[in-house]
Structure formats: C-alpha cells, structure tokens
A = this chain, B = another copy of it.
Amino acid sequence: MNSDTENIRSFMSNYIEINDKEWEYFSSMFRFKNIAKKEIVLNEGYICKDVFFVLKGLLKTYTTDSKGIKKTFHFSRENTFATDYESFLKGTPSKYSIQAIEETTVALMSIETLQNAYKTLRFGNKLGRILAEIYFFIYSDKIQSIYTQTPLERYNNMNTLFPNILQRVPQYDIASYLNITPVHLSRLKKL
C-alpha cells in the first residue's frame, strides 16, 4: 500500500510540515481496509472506533429518523474523511451509519493513533484544528443551504460540493440528501 501511504502524506502536507522521522512513526500506525459495495462499516448506536480516510471509492453517512427512514447526510469521496467524529472523540453511541456506495479502500485511524499524532507530530494539533475547521465550514454551508436554497438549487450545487457525485450515486440517495422524495427529485430534474 505504498502509493496509498504516499497519498496520505501528500494530503497532510497540504496543511502541515511533516518530516521523514515523524512520518515513519505516524504511518506505521495506519491500518487499511477494503470495503465491499453496500457493506456497512458503522451502525448507529455503536461507538465509532475509527476515522476512515477514503483512498478509493465512495462512502455515505446517513442517519435514521423516528419513522425509520434513512436520511443521507454526507458523501465521502477520495481524499476525504468519513466518521462520526463526536462518537469517535467522546466514545458515545454513534448517531450515524456509514456504508459503501462503491467498492472502497480506506485508511483507518483509531483514537489512540490520533492521540499519538497530537503527541508526536510537531504540528499535529494544527492539523487537527485545520481539519475540524474545514468540516465545520462544510456543515455550516450545508445548514445555510437548507435555510436559504430550494431543493433544485441544492441539487445543482451538489457536483460542486462533491465533484462527479451525481454520476456516482443512486437517485434515491441524492433525493435523501436533499431531504425530498425520489418522485420530487425526478420532477425537479425535468424543470
């Protein structure tokens, strides 16, 4: 998985300096996992034990409402993360499930690996801060779009938020992400 670890190093180098010695130690803690299409890697109610960094493939994060309807919340494509970060950091039951939409390869990072990173990487906390900021912006934009945009506007923005997502994801997941029915989505697409 050499090219995969190099991908991770290159991703991290976008945000912080990491030297060979730090990298050697940190990268020795990664684990890798191949996930079959439709496989569920996190179930709501269980503690989220890992952060998933997608090397290849596509994951979706969803939550289930009181009527048992699954609501797709987020998509994680190559070089982005999937996790229930609150469950992961606090050890509380997860509010989300994570499932593979395509056959997917991920690097896994446990809470111990993360804590180690904060201790051993000179700029570990800086990286943690920047990544938390990035995901904060993503969620903040998502709320703003729910409050201010029509479902059609949100649909048209999906390819900007998640490049090529509309070509990779089933219609019912797109409708679910937009919080509308598949019939409503199909009507919108004809406009």
Contact = CB atoms under 8 A, between A and B. Distances in A.
Query: How many identical subunits does the complex contain?
Result: 2
A58 B63 CA distance: 32
Contact of A137 (B73, B86, B125, B179): B86
A30 interface: no
A19 interface: no
A133 interface: yes
Interface residues of A, number: 32
A167 interface: no
B129 A139 contact: no
Contacts of A123: 125
Given A86-B137, A125-B129, A132-B132, A143 B144 contact: no
Interface of A: 63-66, 71, 73, 85-86, 89, 95-96, 118, 123, 125-126, 128-129, 132-133, 135-137, 139-140, 142-144, 146-149, 179
